[in-house]
Amino acid sequence: MIKVQRMFWAAVDATHDRRFVAKSANKKLKGIDVNLYKAITKTSGQPTDSFVQECKNWKRAYNSNILRLLQLEKLNEPFKKPSTLSKVVDYVASSLGKNRTK
């Protein structure tokens, strides 16, 4: 992934995370929302009314999302390269296609 795309999506995800925390602060959460709320507040902080603290929390969420995207890129990296088996299958299929008589 291009660095600019990674930065963009980390910013979007950080904004979504902080919006979820702010909206869910005074609500009664159920099920998976409770676990999500706890995980997000653990990485990016509790909801606050202070603008400066909210910017710091957003930056923490942004850094967390950058790391998550980097891990995802590293996990997907081996799958971008074609395997030896797929190369052999492609070679055999292309050679069979060339040798066909009409």
Tens of pLDDT, residue by residue over 50-102, are 999 999 999 999 999 999 999 999 998 888 888 888 888 888 888 887 765 55
pLDDT of residue 18: 93
Output the pTM of the full model: 0.72
Q: For 7-20, what is each residue's pLDDT tens digit?
A: 999 999 999 999 99
Please tell me whether residue 27 adopts helix, strand or coil conformation. Answer: coil
Nearest to 64 by CA among 47, 36, 40, 48: 40
pLDDT of residue 95: 85
d(CA 34, CA 50): 24
